[in-house]
Structure 1
Amino acid sequence: MRAHNKAAALALSAGLLLTACGGDPRPRQDAEATPHGYVEGAEEAAEAQSRLVLADARGGAVRVLDLITEEVTRLDDIPAVEGISTDGRFAYLAAGESTHVVDSGAWMVDHGDHVHYYRADIRGAGRIDGNAVAANTDSAVTAVALEDGTTALLDRPALEDGDVRAREPVEGIAVPYGQRLLVATDDGVTVRERRGEGARAIGEPCPDPEGTAVTRRGVVFGCADGALLVSEDDGAFTGAKIPYPQSVPDAERATEFTHRPGSATLAAAAGQRGVWSLDVSERSWSRIETGPVVAANAVGEGGPLLTLTADGVLHAYDSATGEQIASRSLLTAPIDAGATPVIQVDTSRAYVNDPAGRRVYEVDYNDDLRVARTFELDIEPAHLVETGR
């Protein structure tokens, strides 16, 4: 591990946000006597307390890397991890016929005009049946989309206390939004109560839904003919179709979106031809002819679109013009078929895992893809998510 920045860690951990706002997460009963933003068992900080949850697909080793202190926490092994996803705090590691839940101990609460950042202990939190492929949450319910096309609904306050309480799965892809649950099936997208009951249809169709993203503009569902954006205003939910600019074969449609949390620019692979860039604010698609990629992510409005190719090279493209603006050879060896490098993006850095090299790279995407830090590890980090954002 490279040099620690202990002074910065102490400064961050000592910082407190005292700006007034409503809707604190799980406030204590004696709210008048507690500091604003208080969360029992957690420490509030002035900046994001980002952590990386990493898993070795071969040996089952699981690590959590604190990006502030650079300390690594070892957790119990989880054999045969096949995939990993996150809701911003918890990581969901799919292995076999179940999903193991890890509390990374880092998260944020967004109040719109300001944000609270928290850090707490890192721990295992339990497991659920089925293989997770995505996760989204609000203050009441966490929706974990499963490989079999259903969604597991978890009690969020109980989960934060280390108790995994799963209700009956919901058929389809479910996303908590606007104090309701949006559920996409082959019959369309409906608005339901948080427990899954009731069904008010969104008028716009979304054939063969696959892939979701939660943005400040609303929830995006990938459809066979483009995307459906569902937004909410004072309890009223509406859908707006964002069709592809031309006819797109199934092999080139967007089925898995990536983006910087809080941004409204999404990236998705476009088959072997390139990468889709979806501007949710402008409700428009553009396809960047990159050729086949292993991973892609979008920095956000005005920022580059990042891709990783099988030769281990990281590329940056102007998302408006499609022009390549930077590239850097990053991974130590060509990517094996069993490895799954990803690009995780936050407000200033990107993180790329190098399984063969047993390291993770922190890249400054605003400085010609400069490698800012290299984290040497004792495992092959085949799977990676960033939390605390």
Structure 2
Amino acid sequence: MNTASKTVTSLALVSALALSACAGENGEEAEEQNDSDQNAAAEDTGADEAEGAADADDDADAEGEDDMDPSEREQQEAGGAEPRVAVTYDGGAAVLDGVSLDVIDEFDADGFLRINEAGDGRHAFLTEGSSFRLLDAGTWGEPHGEHNHYYTTEPYLSDVTVDGDTPAHVVSHDGIGTLFFDGTGEYRSFDLAELDVEAESLETESYESEGEHHGVAVVLEDGSRFETLEDRSGARFLDADGEEMDRNENCPGVHGEAAGPEGVIAVGCEDGVLVWDGEQFEKHDTGEDYSRIGNLFPSEGSPIFLGDYRTDQDGEEPMTEVALVNTESGDISTVNVDSPYNFRNLQRGPDGEALVLTEDGQLHIIDPETGEHLEHIDVIDEWTEPEDWQEPRPAIRAHDDLVYVTDPDSQEIHLLDLTEGEVITTAEFDFEPNEIIVIDGRPVGGVSSDYDEDHEDDDHAHDDDDHDHDEDHDDDDHGHDDDGHDHDHEDDHDH
């Protein structure tokens, strides 16, 4: 659980997320009340009997939580979208409040765990063993005329799974999600609007790629689909009837799917980037013999993708340059960040800025158009990437002008406000955070028929005087992750 945190209030944070800390306060009051009750019982019956009673109550509460029907959860209407953060660690996963970083709930799970946004603004998939397991983060928005209504409830890790051999990539486009299984090359698509932890199962449609490989597939709303090739030499595109429309085998080591405007789908190669422009494939070369771009990070409406950039084929030298890929012009430029980074250290800012966390502890903010360094912000202490890709290492996730930075060495997560240029919340945990995602709680196009992107940010107004973080939370010992699909487990493990 969250054991300590420090909060500095940001005006930008107050206006956007003013109501978010309330649930954490109520939980803290309940804990204090329980402590008082147990102290009173100890005075009346003796410390040993009180301790035994408390243990029994804890066991009963845990059993009740495990047996809880998700339909029994209470929901509360919120004044605006309330992001939540999901993070994995050795032995489980936790859902945190997106502002205070308080632990809302924790779930036990075995083995190495991965976490991916489902794509509907509410759910995630926990990759556990041979399954994608559905997690409800408990925050969501519903369109209502010219504005949205927002709600929260308790998170819930369900028994709804999609099973297969070596689950890997999770992607979503146009209201359709796709799950890829490396062990067979099979992929399963589903309607994002059908995600429901109260259901007995998730209805999916199954497809077969050309064979077993570490790959990715994208199923679009009209039934057409993009898929990587079995030998990882490139990709192909098929129409809704399964007829191959185009194919490109000039992308060795294909990896790192990301979507851009106007139907663009891009993947990285060992010598450039392969782009599907909606009608055909086009290859953009770096001009170097080996220059692997293994992961791509898009920004809404921008043709420019941020990518990692490795020039050492043996993987012994760290990456110190990032790639900026213009899919319209075909230009690929590089920017030196002067310090090593890895595949979990890249994100995009609210205006498309390239965000890079490096091993010197700095967050680099780069203009994607010019490659100019706009700012450097000290966030964490210096660190070194572990040799095993499954071992925790600092990771970042961006949500609007907020950036979440994990620090496994100190067992902390930092919340950075790009507007203020400083860390505004730091929370300490009793686990080492590993993978992290942000569920923003907003309606998503293609999921709701009432969705209107003209009003996607048109939240109900709320009075800052009633929810003043400066007065209510500055002295608290607590304060209340544009998806590039960077899911890595092979090669240099930037899967």
Band the TM-score falls in, shorter-chain normalisation: 0.7 to 0.9
Over residues 220-279 of structure 1, what are the superposed CA-to-partner deviations in whole Å (9 max), with x where a residue is unaligned? 231535334435xxxxx4135250342341xx3212223456655422210124111223
Q: 1:73 — aligned with what? A: 104
Please give the residue correspondences for 1:237-256 in structure 2 after superposition, counting only pairs within 5 Å.
Answer: 237-239=278-280, 241=282, 243-249=284-290, 252-256=291-295
Which amino acid is the alignment partner of residue 376 of structure 1?
E
SS in 1 for 2:108: coil
- Separation in structure 2 between the aligned mates of residue 353 and residue 156 of structure 1, nearest angstrom: 29
Please give the residue correspondences for 1:52-131 in structure 2 after superposition, counting only pairs within 5 Å.
Answer: 52-56=85-89, 58=90, 60-68=91-99, 70-88=101-119, 89-107=122-140, 119-125=152-158, 126-127=160-161, 128-131=163-166
CA gap 1:10/1:211 in 2 versus in 1, 3 angstroms:
closer
Please give the residue correspondences for 1:153-168 in structure 2 after superposition, counting only pairs within 5 Å.
Answer: 153-154=189-190, 156-160=192-196, 161-162=198-199, 163-168=201-206
More divergent stretch after superposition (113-122 vs 214-223): 113-122
Please give the residue correspondences for 1:335-374 in structure 2 after superposition, counting only pairs within 5 Å.
Answer: 335=384, 337=386, 338-367=391-420, 369-374=421-426
Higher strand share: 1
CA-atom RMSD, angstroms?
A: 3.8
8 Å Cα contact 2:177-2:191 kept in structure 1: yes
Structure 1 unaligned runs (5+)?
14-40, 232-236
Q: 2:228 — aligned with what? A: 185
Deviation at 1:212, TM superposition (A): 0.9
Give 1 or 2 for the bigger CA radius of gyration: 2
Larger relative CO (CA 8 A, sep 6+): 1 or 2?
2
- Separation in structure 1 between the aligned mates of residue 79 and residue 287 of structure 2, nearest angstrom: 46
8 Å Cα contact 2:175-2:221 kept in structure 1: no
- Separation in structure 2 between the aligned mates of residue 153 and residue 174 of structure 1, nearest angstrom: 9
Q: 2:255 — aligned with what? A: 210
CA gap 1:274/1:336 in 2 versus in 1, 3 angstroms:
closer
Which amino acid is the alignment partner of residue 326 of structure 2?
D
- Separation in structure 1 between the aligned mates of residue 266 and residue 333 of structure 2, nearest angstrom: 17
8 Å Cα contact 1:154-1:167 kept in structure 2: yes
Over residues 75-112 of structure 1, what are the superposed CA-to-partner deviations in whole Å (9 max), with x where a residue is unaligned? 3211222432223333223343333332223356899x
Over residues 313-372 of structure 1, what are the superposed CA-to-partner deviations in whole Å (9 max), with x where a residue is unaligned? 3222333443434333433462451113222112211111111222211112344x4112
CA gap 1:282/1:323 in 2 versus in 1, 3 angstroms:
same
Please give the residue correspondences for 1:224-373 in structure 2 after superposition, counting only pairs within 5 Å.
Answer: 224=269, 225-231=271-277, 237-239=278-280, 241=282, 243-249=284-290, 252-260=291-299, 264-271=303-310, 272-280=319-327, 283-290=330-337, 292-294=340-342, 295-299=344-348, 303-332=352-381, 334-335=383-384, 337=386, 338-367=391-420, 369-373=421-425
Deviation at 1:50, TM superposition (A): 1.5
More divergent stretch after superposition (198-207 vs 286-295): 198-207
TM-score under structure 2 normalisation?
0.60
Higher helix share: 2
8 Å Cα contact 1:51-1:104 kept in structure 2: yes
1:174 and 2:217 equivalent?
Answer: yes
8 Å Cα contact 2:169-2:216 kept in structure 1: no
Fraction of identical pairs, as percent? 22
CA gap 1:211/1:109 in 2 versus in 1, 3 angstroms:
farther
Over residues 137-171 of structure 1, what are the superposed CA-to-partner deviations in whole Å (9 max), with x where a residue is unaligned? 35764212334454333454443244334543532
8 Å Cα contact 1:351-1:360 kept in structure 2: yes
Which of residues 66, 75, 82 is equivalent to 1:49?
82
- Separation in structure 2 between the aligned mates of residue 182 and residue 118 of structure 1, nearest angstrom: 34
CA gap 1:262/1:63 in 2 versus in 1, 3 angstroms:
farther
